């Protein structure tokens, strides 16, 4: 282990669907819930963008 290991950015926890949750503390569970909520919001925003693009394309080709 190097003296400079503490300077490295810490990895974000990764959540694997279906993993064993019994090994996580309440704080770790809260962090994962927040992380997953942010990811859901990001996915929903992307879906909305794609739906809008699809609607625009459909309007263009109907004209």
What's the chain look like in SS3? CCCCHHHCCCCCCCCCCCCCCCCCCHHHHHHHHHHHHHHHHHHHHHHHHHHHHHHHHHHHHHC
Structure tokens at 7: 């300077």
35: CB partners within 8 A, 6+ apart: 12, 13, 15
Distance CA 55, CA 17 (A): 32
Position 55 scores a pLDDT of: 78
pLDDT digits (tens, 9 = 90+) for 1-40: 566 666 777 776 688 899 999 999 999 999 999 999 999 9
């Amino acid at each position: 282990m190097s003296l400079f290991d503490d300077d490295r950015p810490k990895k974000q926890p990764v959540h694997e669907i279906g993993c064993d949750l019994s090994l996580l503390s309440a704080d770790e569970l809260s962090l994962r819930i927040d992380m997953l909520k942010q990811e859901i919001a990001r996915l929903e925003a992307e879906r909305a963008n794609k739906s809008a693009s699809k609607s625009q394309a459909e309007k263009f080709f109907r004209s």
